[in-house]
Each structure stands twice: as structure tokens, then as C-alpha cells.
Amino acid sequence: MTNVSERSLYERMGGYDTLAAFTDELLQRLTSDPEIGIYWRGHSTDSMKRDRQLIVDFLCEAIGGPVIYRRTDLKTSHQGLRISERDWEVFANHAVAALEKLEVPEQEKQEFLECAASLKDDIVEER
């Protein structure tokens, strides 16, 4: 009998389909946000598809899924965007809303948000 702690967060969240649906919901929210949507203005549909897939892959790997993210680290890929503390807050609120929309259970939601929070120092440049 497998107990909860032996199952990865990836499995407990519902695997690939949940992570893909989460990423689509999050990106929809981020790109239409009045404050931070500007970061994605000027990106073609094709480059958004590429970024979407990279995010799905990154997240799946980060939470224990059978996916290998082969791009550069997140610090390098966000360097120069000048993402601020406030931008991060807006982003994090959208992430919570997307998890709630997908009805990710409380325990898994908290673990996922902790994982995201651990990446903040690599992404936020402007304090």
C-alpha cells in the first residue's frame, strides 16, 4: 500500500494534464493582467506556445514528474526582465487562483506554492 509521502507531488496533483491545465490558466491570467501583462506584450503566438511548453516541462520536473527540463536555469532566463517584488505578488495571486480553479486540494496547493516560493530569489531582481 502506497502512502501519501511516497507519491510525488506531481502524482498527487493529477500528473501532466493538471500541470498543463494549470499553466494554460496561469498564462491566460498573466498575459491579460493590467499590471504585469506588459511582460508578454509583443510575444508572438508561436513564442507563447514555446514558453508555455517550457513552463509545463519545468513544473513537471520540479515536482517529481517524469520530465526532463533541458533549458537554462530560471535565473538566467529571467535576468534583465527587471521583475519586481510587486510583480511577484501579482503573479503569486494568479497562481493561487489558477490552483483553486483546478480544485487542487489544500495540501498539494500549499506544497506547490512552497516550491514556487523557493524560486523567487532567482526571478525577482528589483526589491
CA proximity to 40, closest of 81, 9, 71, 6: 81
CA diameter of the chain: 51
The three cell numbers locating residue 88: 511577484
Residue 75 makes contact with ligand HEM by CB under 6 A: no
User: Which one of residues 17, 28, 66, 71 is an interface residue with ligand HEM (CB under 6 A)?
Assistant: 71
- CB of residue 1 vs ligand HEM: minimum separation in angstroms? 33
Q: What is the 3-state secondary structure (H, E, C) of 25-93?
A: HHHHHHHCCCCCHHHHCCCCHHHHHHHHHHHHHHHHHHCCCCCCCCCCCHHHHHCCCCCEHHHHHHHHH
Draw the binding track, 18-47, toward ligand HEM (x: CB under 6 A; -: no contact).
------------------x--xx-------
User: Which one of residues 13, 26, 83, 104 is an interface residue with ligand HEM (CB under 6 A)?
Assistant: 83
**Among residues 1 and 127, whose Cβ is nearest to ligand HEM?**
127
Binding positions for ligand HEM, rule: CB under 6 A:
36, 39-40, 51, 54-55, 58, 71-72, 74, 77-78, 81, 83, 87-88, 91, 116, 119, 123
